[in-house]
Amino acid sequence: MTSSRVRENLIQELRLQGIHDERVLEVMTKIERHQFVEEALKSEAYKNRALPIGHAQTISQPYIVALMTQAVMGGATPTKRVLEVGTGSGYQTAVLAALVETVFTVERIRALTESARLRLASLNIRNVHFGYADGTLGWPPYAPYDGIVVTAGGTEIPQALIDQLAPGGRLVIPVGPTGAQSLRLIERTMRGTTVEQDLGGVTFVPLLTGKV
Ligand code: SAH
């Protein structure tokens, strides 16, 4: 159930869905998603769907992880330092960490931050800084970022996130009311203006403020 063949099948499915960045596909072939879910769900880990991780949250669907990663990596400037808002299980974090120099990841649920920190350490992933913080404010101490990936959806795009993008940087974020969200790619141009693209309809858990 967790063999490399089931992983290969999933990667084939991602290709058919339009994921074309070979760097992303290769990393997702290697990272074992079953390591990021509880025992009872391991047999489901290579299905192309979101799964529960406790605290009313989910590990994102593999297609969405691939789409967001491809979008944040796809600009004209190198993507070296990336902020992730919504650590959750740490799966998207691990995918990013395999592709960029440093990942900064913030989570508002303390128990999830702590379990993700332990999980990534046990997988020997070392280029990640974990923060227990409200990511709607970004993470100012380490800004600016070449890329920002937000794995929870709100009704608007927090201005702090746009402000913390480096020139040429890209923000990938689901936006819209529950049931009608779409994934947006916002690029900050070298002149400081922004360009927005719609990457299609998505369903994410809510982006909430404060910490618990
Ligand atoms: N990338 C994660 C997705 C987890 S679901 C994974 O693949 O497992 C989204 C996560 O965003 C949840 O853990 C939720 O607690 C967190 N979240 C929601 N609003 C947040 C905020 N304002 N700041 C930080 N994390 C937030």
60, 89, 115, 122: the catalytic one is 60
Question: Using CA atoms, how far apart are residues 157 and 13, in angstroms rounded to an integer?
Answer: 30
| Distance separating the N- and C-terminal Cα atoms of the chain | 35
- Token couple for 23: 């760097």
Element of type H or E holding 145:
strand 145-150
3-state DSSP assignment of residue 20: coil
Task: Give the model's pLDDT for residue 2.
Answer: 63
Beta strand 165-175 with 102-107: parallel, antiparallel or unpaired?
unpaired
Beta strand 165-175 with 181-188: parallel, antiparallel or unpaired?
antiparallel
Question: Using CA atoms, how far apart are residues 187 and 110, in angstroms rounded to an integer?
Answer: 31
Task: Give the model's pLDDT for residue 1.
Answer: 58
Task: Give the model's pLDDT for residue 179.
Answer: 86
Q: What mean pLDDT is reported for the chain?
A: 96
Residue of 68, 109, 110, 113 to mutate, ligand 1, most atoms within 8 A of C-beta: 109
Is 115 among the catalytic positions?
no
Find out whether 139 and 106 touch, Cβ atoms under 8 Å.
Answer: yes
Report CA(12)–ligand 1 centroid distance (Å).
27
Q: Which atom of ligand 1 sits closest to the CA of residue 84?
A: 1
Task: Give the model's pLDDT for residue 62.
Answer: 98
pLDDT in tens, 108-164: 999 999 999 999 999 999 999 999 999 999 999 999 999 999 999 999 999 999 999
Report CA(191)–ligand 1 centroid distance (Å).
31
Q: What is the dihedral of CA 95, 56, 118, 172, to 10 degrees?
A: 30
Which positions ≥6 away from 10 have C-beta within 8 Å?
A: 28, 46, 47, 48, 62
Report CA(14)–ligand 1 centroid distance (Å).
23
- Ligand 1: list residues with CB < 6 Å: 53, 57-60, 85-86, 88-89, 91-92, 106-109, 112, 134-136, 151-152, 205, 207-209
Report CA(30)–ligand 1 centroid distance (Å).
23
The closest residue, in CA terms, to atom 7 on ligand 1 is 59
Rounded to two decimals, the pTM is 0.97
Q: pLDDT by residue for the chain (212 residues), tens digit each?
A: 567 889 999 999 999 999 999 999 999 999 999 999 999 999 999 999 999 999 999 999 999 999 999 999 999 999 999 999 999 999 999 999 999 999 999 999 999 999 999 999 999 999 999 999 999 999 999 999 999 999 999 999 999 999 999 999 999 999 999 889 999 999 999 998 999 999 999 999 999 999 99
